[in-house]
Homo-oligomer: A and B are copies of this chain.
Amino acid sequence: MSEKFPVCPVETTLQLIGDKWKVLIIRDLLDGTRRFGELKKSVGDISQKVLTTNLRAMEENGLVTRKVYAEVPPRVEYTLTETGYSLKSVLDALVHWGTEYKSRK
């Protein structure tokens, strides 16, 4: 049944992507599937530990899927789920606002 989320939908969203790192991960995954190492490079100054922690949480929340290939060395790919991809509208808003803000300076 429905898990308990805050009444305010803003708080619900913050609960899922209120973390700076998660937003940046989604930004990069919106362009398509990425390997762990690729994300580590593209997200920016993120440590392996933090990246792993965030990806696990996002998987838990149904925002990304994790696919492990039985190769050596191992290959792990992360892809946005449909729900995760639907965050594109939020990211678009962030991009738009950030661009506007900078241009006003």
List chain A positions with a Cβ less than 8 A from chain B.
2-3, 5, 8-14, 16, 18, 20, 23-24, 27, 44, 83, 86-87, 89-102, 104-105
Q: Which of B10, B99, B102 contacts A24 (CB 8 A)?
A: B10
In the complex, the count of this chain's copies comes to 2
User: Do residues B23 and A98 form an inter-chain contact, with CB atoms below 8 A?
Assistant: no
Also in contact, A12 and B93, with CB within 8 A (given A18-B20, A20-B18): no
Residue of B whose beta carbon sits closest to that of A63? B101
Contacts of A92 in B (CB 8 A): 93
Minimum Cβ distance to chain B for residue A25 (Å):
11
Minimum Cβ distance to chain B for residue A42 (Å):
10
Contacts of A44 in B (CB 8 A): 11
Minimum Cβ distance to chain B for residue A29 (Å):
13
